[in-house]
Chain A
Amino acid sequence: MSDVAQASQGPDDPLAIAEYTPGGQTALDDSERWPSLTPAGARRLEALRTHPFAPPWVHAAGDRLSADAARRVRTPLPLDGWLDRHLDVARRLPAYRRRAAELVALEDFPLIGRDDLVDDVSAFVPLDADLEQAVHGSSSGSTGRALLIPDDIEDTARTFHLLVTLAAEQGVEWTPNPERMALAHVVHQRQAFTYASVISSFEQATMARLNLIDEQWPDRLTRARFLEAQNPQAISGSPTSLAELLDPSLVEVLHPLVIFSGAMGLSGALRADLVASYGCPVIDIYGLHETRPIASSADGGPFVILDRRVHVEIVDDRGRPVSPGERGEIVVTAGENPLLPLVRYRTCDFGMLVEVDGRLAIAELEGREATTFLANDGSRVACVDLTQQLQAAGAHGWSVKQDATGGVEAVIARGDAGRVSAALEALLGRPVTVERRESVADLGEGKPRRYVSLA
């Protein structure tokens, strides 16, 4: 395919995972990826794809928006009475409809969790859902087994405009500029889907998902020159990938208006370094793929709950709501994705509800550890690389610990221990002891700390 080049990963790579084969997951042509693509948008896209310093694109992805849909997603969904309507929809879901009469108020609904969705996600998809709007959403998540959920095309696209709104709240005027890439979504992991795209609802400005890891580029200068040429207005990523932005070659050439962090906890030190390097707001967004964005913090303080279809509760270890100001597990009712209307979804993250300037916020948010492991060559390996290999080997859950001397021990629930051992040893360049158990419960009670590195 013209838009998907060959990646560096060779056929004999012991860590290669089939789905990351370049072009292996593409199925559409550009007119389907961007049904309203204009000649100007197409030119920008082609220039991005074929830029002489561009990395190999492993994948291709568009927003799939018609012109009408592109107009719709610029506006947030209305909030008046959403929760009542949401619960009405939920009562008709296969998961609840046999006992709908008992589910009068929100608190009557049982708590659900990731395993419920892994076991049968269709029970949480409305029977009359428009599945033509569905695309494949997968999440590595926090308990092990990969989760497959239906993403809604318009909901996914609307997330971009949420970012624009959050930037505006920080005084950033972020408007389409045909001379600049609108958003660089960066990752830093051994294998990742990367793609060049345009945002139909943002005057078809470009965006890209980029892997900053060295192996994706001939050298760091090429990486810097590519990013300099794109001059992204905004950059999003996880703390692992955002830390890479502190590389002097990038600090020198990048001028983002705003930076967004997600997936894992952003440390105060990294936030401060990013602010010092780029002089722009750094907004940490808390959310799960299943629930979509929940809350954000622009100053390192409590995460203010977003002004969208999301309702947050805190419960104790027996699942009962706690008093205001008490710590507990965060439970979310999420109504932005019409294909997966969740009620009282356990996040396995912990915090307490507080008020910030009259808005509800989550303080002391915990549960999104950003762990890296020390490889034998002195480099740090992000835990997402381990997650990919553990899932590919069929593990349902795991705990991987590295001691201060660098020794690594893994305990996995189910899966192929031999394959896990080989993959982790190849990743880290050091021996890894793997112990296999029969079930996730055998990993211990409560939320397992999946990754710990003392090295």
Chain B
Amino acid sequence: MQRWLARNESIDAVWAGMVPGPSADAVASRIGAVPKTFLDDRVRVVALAGDVLESDRGRGQESTDVVAVLDEVTATGSSVARRGAAIALWLWAGDEELGALAPPLAREHAARALAAMAFRLASVVDPAEWVSDAERRDEAARTFLFWSGQLPAGEDRDTASSLLTMRDSLQRNGALAAAAEEHAHRLEVTRKLQEARAREAAARYTHE
């Protein structure tokens, strides 16, 4: 979870760049069809990404960021992080094996989506449950779509937001939710105090 928090991702920025995506059901269905090979801890996710995102090579920074996230996943030695990343990679790989979803899954924010699945969601829900439990599958699908910057088909922003919040295991885990809330608060206080507007300060009248 600390690795996710350290990325300082902005929810507002995601909403600001949201584009239409496939339905949450379609993505959830694809999660349910993840091949066993993707979940095998012996498979290296960096190599997997090389195959899955091969067509994205040459996309510059995003490819570099994807490799950086997957290197971090490997460095953790965590099985849940590895499997979380592998399921995200499967969602893109499924386009080739099962046909593209409509609209297709976005890849512009692949690094962010991978980090959300491997470090945020996987740290509170074992990816095995994403496959076996319908609610957690829906949560994984919505998490993936959101951090990919895609609005689920058939939903407006309010609906998508409330369904994601309702499913969000992080928010349902009191201690982790508190840690995440405080981390966001720390960033906000720091940002606010460093803003030029705040730095000008206000007139003061005494010497304390």
Contacts and interface: CB of A to CB of B under 8 A. Distances in A.
B201 to A, nearest CB: 5
A131 B192 contact: yes
A123 B203 CA distance: 26
Interface in A4-39: 25-28, 32-33
Interface residues of A, number: 59
B181 interface: yes
B207 interface: yes
A122 B189 contact: yes
A153 interface: yes
B188 interface: yes
Contacts of A285: 206, 208
B16 interface: no
Contact of B206 (A148, A153, A159): A159
A314 interface: no
A259 B120 CA distance: 58
Contacts of B204: 61, 156, 159, 185, 209
Nearest to B186: A122
A10 B206 CA distance: 29
Given A61-B200, A136-B199, A136-B201, A237 B207 contact: yes
Nearest to A134: B192
Contacts, number: 119
Nearest to A186: B207
A199 B205 CA distance: 10
Given A94-B185, A151-B202, A156-B202, A236 B192 contact: no
Contact of B201 (A122, A135, A241): A135
Contacts of B185: 94, 122, 125, 127
Contact of B200 (A60, A120, A263, A289): A60
20 contacts: A27-B196, A28-B197, A59-B200, A61-B201, A62-B202, A62-B203, A120-B186, A121-B189, A122-B189, A123-B186, A135-B198, A136-B194, A159-B204, A159-B206, A183-B205, A185-B205, A236-B205, A236-B206, A238-B207, A285-B206
Interface of A: 25-28, 32-33, 59-64, 94, 97-98, 120-123, 125, 127, 131, 134-137, 139, 148, 150-151, 153, 156-157, 159-160, 163, 183, 185, 187, 193, 195, 197, 199, 207, 209, 236-238, 241, 260-263, 285, 287-289, 292-293
Given A151-B201, A157-B202, 19 more contacts: A26-B200, A27-B200, A62-B202, A94-B178, A97-B178, A120-B186, A123-B186, A127-B185, A131-B188, A134-B189, A134-B193, A135-B202, A136-B193, A163-B205, A199-B203, A260-B206, A287-B206, A292-B208, A293-B208
